[in-house]
């Protein structure tokens, strides 16, 4: 038993720091993905064909290519045109853009579930299109898409492990450095799996709380 506590004392701080890195990347990525997803979803409803085509291409390209390749394009590709990003920043942008395409489809589905008559009624009452979307449509959409958006957030959290390939010291890369020096892959990969399980469980509980809160407001 003492040996377990000794190992927690030795390796625990490193795992805690890596967990905070994962948490920070996840929160920032979710913010980027929601911004990209909402813009893309609204762009698909634009009266301008060029805007609809651009949004459609973004969603088609991102959903049709591997996430890891997108991470490499951002981190290794952009320097070739003079844009250099830190591994952390490149990872957040890459995962945010990737998740944003899926969020866009989720939001689009939520928008189609809202009856068009609500928009027409709001406009007739003197609301601007922007006010109608912000105060009437989007709050309802958020309630509808919350379970789906939660699943996407959980996928985003797990995708942070891909950033070990561009030297972001998150859980996976930290475990790999320990494995390289101790030759104990089973224990450390199990530890990583358990930590990810805890983080995704926390995210699920938060989402469940939000669902209950919005249900009570309804």
- Domain count of the fold of the chain: 1
The parent domain of residue 140 ranges over: 2-217
* pLDDT bucket at 217, cuts 50 / 70 / 90: low
pLDDT tens string 131-165 = 888 888 888 888 889 889 999 999 999 999 999 99
Higher pLDDT: 15 or 125? It is: 15
pLDDT tens sequence across 103-122: 999 999 998 888 877 877 87
**How far is Cα 112 from Cα 97, in angstroms, rounded to an integer?**
23
Position with higher pLDDT, 39 vs 207: 39
Categorize the per-residue pLDDT at 90 as very low, low, confident or very high, splitting at 50, 70 and 90: very high
Which CATH number fits the domain that encloses residue 133?
Answer: 1.10.3720.10
């Amino acid at each position: 038993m003492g040996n377990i506590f000794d190992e927690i004392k030795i390796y625990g701080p490193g795992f805690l720091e890596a967990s905070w890195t994962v948490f920070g990347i996840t929160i920032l990525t979710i913010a980027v993905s929601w911004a990209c997803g909402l813009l893309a979803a609204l762009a698909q409803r634009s009266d301008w064909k060029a805007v609809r085509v651009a949004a459609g291409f973004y969603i088609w390209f991102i959903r049709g290519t591997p996430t890891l390749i997108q991470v490499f394009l951002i981190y290794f590709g952009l320097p070739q045109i003079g844009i250099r990003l830190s591994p952390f920043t490149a990872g957040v942008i890459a995962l945010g853009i990737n998740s944003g395409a899926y969020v866009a489809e989720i939001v689009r589905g939520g928008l189609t579930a809202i009856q068009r008559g609500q928009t027409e009624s709001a406009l007739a009452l003197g609301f601007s299109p922007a006010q109608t979307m912000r105060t009437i449509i989007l709050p309802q959409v958020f309630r509808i898409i919350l379970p789906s958006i939660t699943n996407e957030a959980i996928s985003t959290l797990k995708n942070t492990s891909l950033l070990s390939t561009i030297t972001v010291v998150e859980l996976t890369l930290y475990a790999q450095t320990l494995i390289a020096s101790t030759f104990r892959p089973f224990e450390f990969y199990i530890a990583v799996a358990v930590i990810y399980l805890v983080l995704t469980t926390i995210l699920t509980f938060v989402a469940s709380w939000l669902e209950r809160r919005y249900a009570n407001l309804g």
